[in-house]
Structure 1
Amino acid sequence: MALLEIRNLTVEFETVTGLFRAVDGVDIAVDRGEVLAIVGESGSGKSVGMLAVMGILPRTARVSADLMQFDGRDLRTLGRRERRTIVGRDMSMIFQEPGSSLNPCFTVGTQITEVLKVHTDLSARQRRDRAVELLEAVGIRDAAERLGSYPHQMSGGQAQRVMIAMAIACNPKLLIADEPTTALDVTIQKQILDLLMGLQAQHGMGLIMITHDMGVVAETADRVVVQYKGRKMEEADVLTLFENPSSPYTRALLSALPENATGDRLPTVADFMAGEGRA
């Protein structure tokens, strides 16, 4: 049995002009200890689908699925209280923008210990000690002193590490990383990816990496799901995807990579799809 299995997931939003379908009949499965990359350009429904799994979409969203099962439990039938016992403990998410995901009014120590307060029986002293341990685990120096820092006092890379510390605080079975290296410089990107992969291997977590960066996919993934305009275009193991992609859209993505360019002008997805005889 897969750790997470989703069949025919559809997410629609109510707008002033009617319903907008952001995710259209997507199937996804990830096993324990597996790294699954969900790749596609902005607006392809990558993040929305995983937010639906976490149950944190706004009320304007309409979510339906034939199956949405995590660790043997049907997520479609869980009440809010039951879902809160899973989300943040067994299933965690690293959000795309740490600067806006961390609360600017509270120290990072308060925000990490709050996760532990909700999901564990640790005492206040034990929660603080665990928070120090987590910051050390994600590579933040002087961890005990940094517990008193506010998010604005930390660099982008440090803030992302704090987000990772919060996400792994309860040793989740599944970790969803939504564009974890966005807005970070290249050196810090490599450090964050190495950190995530090391933690995944150490704890045996299932890891879903949401990205539009094919380089990240090549470095991290066991399997890859390619999405376009809310639909799944292709699913393959990472080697097959790069060597023999079956979908015209996947070939378009790969052909648009700078290292694959053969002319003076970088090809676009639209160029490639037109060359395949598709609109």
Structure 2
Amino acid sequence: MPLLEIRNLKVEFETASGPFKALDGVDYTVDSGEVLAIVGESGSGKSVAMLALMGLLPDTATVTVDKMEFEGRDITKLSATDRRQVIGKDISMIFQEPIASLNPCFTVGFQIGEALKVHTDLSSSDRSRRVIELLEAVGIPEPKGRLSSFPHQMSGGQCQRVMIAMAIACQPKLLIADEPTTALDVTIQKQILDLLLKLQEESGMGLIMITHDMGVVAETADRVVVQYQGRQMEESDVLTLFESPKHPYTKALLSALPENATGDRLPTVSDFREFLESEAKKVSA
């Protein structure tokens, strides 16, 4: 039995110009200890899918799904109370742009401690000790002194580490990392990816990595789902994807990598847009 199984997930938003279909029948399966990468350009529905799983989409969204099970439990049939026990504890998410995700009015120590307060029976003193352990685990220097720091007093990389500490506070069985290296310099990106993989290997949790960066996919993933305009184009193990991609969109993504450049100009996905649009119409037909 997989850790997470989602079948035929569809999400539609009501907009001023009419309904907009953000996801059109995507499937995901993740096992314990597995790293699944969901890759595609902006607007392909990667984040929307995970927000639907977390129950964090706005009221303007209509979500339909044939199956959404975590450890064999149908998430869609859980009460609000039971779902909160799963989301945030057993399933946790690292959101994009950590500075925007952290509350500027509260210290990082308080914000990490809140997750422990909601989902554990730890006393106040034990929570403080656990927060220090978490900050140390994610590589924050002088963790005890950072308990009283506010997000604006920390760098982008440190705030991302705080977000990771919050996400792993309750030892989740599934961690979702949504573009975890966005807006970070290359050195910090490598440190964050290494940290996530280290935590994943030590705990045996499943990890879903949302990204548009094929380099990140190559470094982290066991299996890959490729999305385009809300549809699932291809799914395979990471080695097969890079060695023999099947779908034209996957080939377009890979051809845009610097190491695959064959001429004076590096191709982009836009160069394949007309062809991809025709392929998408064939799929929808």
TM-score band, normalised by the shorter chain?
A: over 0.9
Contact 2:249/2:276, CA 8 A, preserved across alignment: no
Q: Is 1:144 matched with 2:144?
A: yes
**Alignment partner, residue 17 of structure 1:** 17
Q: Is 1:77 matched with 2:71?
A: no
Q: How is 1:89-108 mapped onto 2 (pairs within 5 angstroms)?
A: 89-108=89-108
Q: Take 2:276 and 2:165, find their aligned partners in 1: how far apart are those partners? A: 45
**Alignment partner, residue 268 of structure 2:** 268
Q: How is 1:237-252 mapped onto 2 (pairs within 5 angstroms)?
A: 237-252=237-252
TM-score for the superposition, normalised by structure 2: 0.96
Cα offsets for 1:190-237 (capped at 9, x unmatched): 000000000000000000000000000000000000000000000000
**Alignment partner, residue 257 of structure 2:** 257
CA offset at residue 271 of structure 1? 2.2
Q: How is 1:1-279 mapped onto 2 (pairs within 5 angstroms)?
A: 1-272=1-272, 274=274, 278=278
Gaps of 5+ in 2: 280-285
Alpha-carbon spacing, 1:75–1:267, altered in 2? closer, same or farther (3 Å): same
Give 3-state SS (helix, strand or coil) of 1:207's partner: strand
Name the aligned partner's letter for residue 50 of structure 2.
M
Give 3-state SS (helix, strand or coil) of 1:76's partner: helix
Alpha-carbon spacing, 1:236–1:132, altered in 2? closer, same or farther (3 Å): same
Question: Please, what is the CA RMSD of the aligned residues?
Answer: 1.2
Contact 1:37/1:221, CA 8 A, preserved across alignment: yes
CA offset at residue 65 of structure 1? 0.3
CA offset at residue 184 of structure 1? 0.2
TM-score for the superposition, normalised by structure 1: 0.98
Gaps of 5+ in 1: none
CA offset at residue 268 of structure 1? 2.2
Q: Take 2:161 and 2:204, find their aligned partners in 1: how far apart are those partners? A: 19
CA offset at residue 274 of structure 1? 4.8
Alpha-carbon spacing, 1:277–1:227, altered in 2? closer, same or farther (3 Å): closer
Cα offsets for 1:86-120 (capped at 9, x unmatched): 11100000001101100000000000110000000
Aligned identity (percent) is: 74
The answer to which of 263-272 and 43-52 deviates more is 263-272
Contact 1:248/1:273, CA 8 A, preserved across alignment: no
Alpha-carbon spacing, 1:276–1:42, altered in 2? closer, same or farther (3 Å): closer
Q: Take 1:259 and 1:87, find their aligned partners in 2: how far apart are those partners? A: 40
Cα offsets for 1:129-181 (capped at 9, x unmatched): 00000000000011011010000000000000000000000100000000000
Name the aligned partner's letter for residue 16 of structure 2.
V
Contact 1:23/1:231, CA 8 A, preserved across alignment: yes
Q: Take 1:129 and 1:150, find their aligned partners in 2: how far apart are those partners? A: 18
Contact 2:99/2:159, CA 8 A, preserved across alignment: yes
Aligned length: 279
Contact 2:89/2:171, CA 8 A, preserved across alignment: yes
Name the aligned partner's letter for residue 271 of structure 1.
D
Alpha-carbon spacing, 1:135–1:256, altered in 2? closer, same or farther (3 Å): same
